Every structure is written in structure tokens, then in C-alpha cells.
Amino acid sequence: MSVSSTRPMISAEPGAILATMLDVLHAQEGQYFGAIGLRFTLFETIDCFALAVVQGGRDLEITLLGLVGEILISAVQRKQAELALHDSQLQLAQSQKLEAVCLRFGTVNGPSTRLRGELMLNKMVSDGLGLGTVTVRNGRVWRPILSIDDLVQALVAVIDSDCKSGIFNLCSVNLTIREYANAVAHLTGARIEVLADTPTYNFIMSSQKFCDTFGFEFTTNLYTIVETLIEFYREQGGGAAAN
């Protein structure tokens, strides 16, 4: 038994493909052959045709042929296909009644074995303890902070609640950079050094919707968050000067 293949021929007609095989198929006594073909379209853009020719007698030989072509579609047809896909996805989501509670966090803050020292509040505390100086840029810009303790308790509240969907902000405090610096300087005894402002973003958020929906109360504030960081850095041997 032998299996051979030929190069795909650019023709969509099975008869035309068979006609090109006269050099391959040799009619002779005791020999016979048959052919079977399959044509199909993939993703509405790829037109495929496969043909298998079996020649038998004293020997068995199978010849495989294939044809692949691209179906060009217009921009309008492509847009219609995209809209149809979107509608089918929407219908699937509605049929399965997919629901989700989405939480938008402020910058999560708290002790960690891999504490990111470059984050604003972490750096302020580290510099205040180690260098005795807290530097401030863009002091009037707002930043939200979410303590890790409040984050954990908020997730528990969501899990225990009957609320099935919604989008909520979540932050323990939302203050200006200067207000964070004032608290760190007060608790570490450091002085504040004000530097020139730089281009940056302003980020103000409210967690009132989350509190009203889940009956939630935050347990931390600016001073308890900073005190927790101070205790952590001191346990690690100090602030920036010790790094």
C-alpha cells in the first residue's frame, strides 16, 4: 500500500481536479478507482475542499488532494458579523444570568513581606523614620488609601450580603498628599520638605455607596494606618536610612 499526495490545485470543481490526475491514474485491466470529496467553510472566510482518490487492484494507492481559498467579505459584512457575535454573547450572558459585584480599590496599604517602598505613604513613613524628612510634591492632589484590614472585612461583607451585582468604590481614607505628609511628620517627628510640583493625576473617590449598600463601616483611619506602618518599619530595623 502506498499513500501519495499532490500539491493543492486552484480549482473548485471536482471534475476539473480529476481531469488533472490523468497522469496519475492509469486505466488498465484489473485496476479500478473511486473518489470521494468534501467541501466546507471555516469561520465564514476560509473555503476548503478535500478529495481522496483510491486506486485498487494488485496494489492499493491513495491520492489526496486539497484546496484552500479565502472568501473576501466587505467591511459591511464584517461589521454585521461583529454585531451578530456581540448579540449572541449578550444573549448567552442573559440566559445564564451572570451577575458580579465589582470593587474599585484605592491604593491598598499595610504590612507585607514584600512591601513596595516606592508607594507614596510607605515612602513617607520610611523617609520620616530613617531620614527625618518627608518630601512633598503636588501637595494639593488627592489620593485614596485602602487599608488591608478594611479590604478583608469589605470582602467578607460582600460574600455575606444578598447583593448580587453592582460597581463600588472602596477606600479607607481619601485625602491630599499634604495631609498624608502632615500625619506622618506628626507621628515620626520628621520635618516636611516641599518640592516643586510635577505633572500628575488627581484621584478622588467616595465609598458611601458601598457603605450604604452593605451596611459597612471602615475600622481604620489615616492615623491608625500610619501607626501600623511605623510599627512595621521599626520591627524591620528602621526606615530609609537602614535600607
pLDDT value of position 16: 62
pLDDT value of position 70: 53
Taking only the tens of pLDDT, the chain with its 243 residues reads: 333 334 444 444 555 655 665 555 555 666 666 766 666 665 555 666 666 767 666 666 666 655 555 555 566 666 777 788 777 777 776 676 667 899 999 999 999 888 888 999 999 999 999 999 999 999 999 999 999 999 999 999 999 998 888 999 999 999 999 999 999 999 999 999 999 999 998 999 999 999 999 999 999 999 999 999 999 999 988 766 544
Name residues whose C-beta falls within 8 Å of residue 100's C-beta, 6 or more positions apart in sequence. 165
Is 101-242 assigned to CATH 2.40.30.210? no
This prediction's pTM = 0.59
pLDDT value of position 9: 40
Closest CA to 29 of 49, 57, 53: 57
Neighbours of 132 (CB within 10 A): 15
Length of the chain: 243
Q: Measured on CA atoms in the order 99, 211, 182, 241, is the torsion positive or negative?
A: negative
**Cβ pair 60, 54 in contact under 8 A:** yes
d(CA 174, CA 150) in angstroms, rounded, equals: 14
d(CA 159, CA 186) in angstroms, rounded, equals: 38
pLDDT value of position 86: 77
pLDDT value of position 10: 41
d(CA 143, CA 221) in angstroms, rounded, equals: 14
Helix H segments across 20-142? 75-96, 120-130
Q: Measured in whole angstroms, how far is the alpha carbon of residue 242 from the centre of its chain?
A: 37
Q: What residue spans define the domains of the chain? A: 2-70, 101-242
pLDDT value of position 243: 43
pLDDT value of position 113: 86
